[in-house]
Structure 1
């Protein structure tokens, strides 16, 4: 599966992990943790960008708490229709970009956003698109936050918000040798260096990465880290 395959599958996604799915669950504990973290590092007039915003549940939580300069990138066009229905004030007040992260982010100026964040989105980027991680650091002026499944514990589920926790029980683990398999039974690349990968519902790839290594390697400093139910919450600032 290459980057184009991944894009096509998320573009047409319906049912579980679709824009309607996330709108149904609404803001959750991760939404509040994001708000609290942003409040410690940025003012209420901060320019905020969510990568893979879907129908906008996390941005809606921020918008409702006074952050009006919000933007989002989303590959699934249906997400914006759901946003119009579920979060009309956000849809009207925010700025949204339809497209893949790799296509949209390079068009932004350096330090274009005070805050950039991702909730279980970067984990789906194909290894061919890893060059965009340096671009994310380039456009971040104050704070970058990742909330991603790094494959340490639990399963390979995706962000649902049911019972107040991110993650889902859709993907089981495995017990194969770590020489051939990654975290939770995920397949490693043939070179042993590409990220371990698991598949959500045997369909969508989830790549396990150490986001501390990735973003410190491109010049950011980790200032906070917290283990959640299935994800690791990390906050970075420019060095």
Structure 2
């Protein structure tokens, strides 16, 4: 898939892995990992941005634990309607941008958010927009969290968050690309390398059933400053 195909796929996604799908399952292990890291690192007045928030299950989990300065970016327009039905308080209180990540992040000020995080979203960004990582470093004031599938699995089976198979070499930083259910691409990247090269220090790493969770803080001196 090229860059345009990937964007179109997620903008029009329905059925499995759609906003309705994730709203049905609700908060999961990744939601709790994000909450735990954010709660340990910041107070509840922190401004938090989720990249690819879908119908809001992870942001809703943060809201239930006292965080209320919440922003999301989501490509699929249906997600906000699903959010309004499933998490109406979040839909009303939060700020949401319906557009590709790369079209939104450039509009934010430096250090715009205390925390920025992604749950299985950055792994779907096409290599043509790798410059987005520079923007994420620029807008993150205190904490950056990635929850991504870092290793391709040749024998993966369908699960709540998808099936990655048919891995082939591709992408930056020695990454591979696999295809979820033989359909859309998943780029397996070295997130530690990507963000430490941009002036961040890894402060936590842990695993969920299918993902690696990494937390980063800005170093005292950053190349984007």
TM-score (norm 2): 0.92
Unpaired runs of at least 5, structure 1: 161-166, 173-184
**Residue matched to 1:199:** 179
**Residue matched to 1:147:** 147
Query: Which aligned segments of 4 or more residues in structure 1 are displaced greater than 2 angstroms?
Result: 152-160, 191-195
Alignment of 1:169-180 (within 5 A): 170-172=163-165
CA gap 1:151/1:14 in 2 versus in 1, 3 angstroms = same
User: Which among 206, 209, 212 is matched to residue 229 of structure 1?
Assistant: 209
Alignment of 1:10-159 (within 5 A): 10-151=10-151
Report the count of equivalent residues: 219
CA contact (8 A) 2:20 2:82 kept: yes
CA gap 1:126/1:218 in 2 versus in 1, 3 angstroms = same
Distance 2:207 2:152 in 1: 10
Deviation at 1:171, TM superposition (A): 3.8
Larger strand proportion of the pair:
2
CA RMSD of aligned residues (A): 1.9
CA contact (8 A) 2:146 2:213 kept: yes
TM-score (norm 1): 0.87
Unpaired runs of at least 5, structure 2: 220-225
Deviation at 1:228, TM superposition (A): 1.8
**Cα-to-partner distance string for 1:132-187 (whole Å, 9 max, x where unaligned):** 00110100001000000001657667883xxxxxx44x344xxxxxxxxxxxx511
Distance 2:9 2:142 in 1: 33
**Residue matched to 2:223:** none
Distance 2:172 2:43 in 1: 43
SS in 2 for 1:45: coil
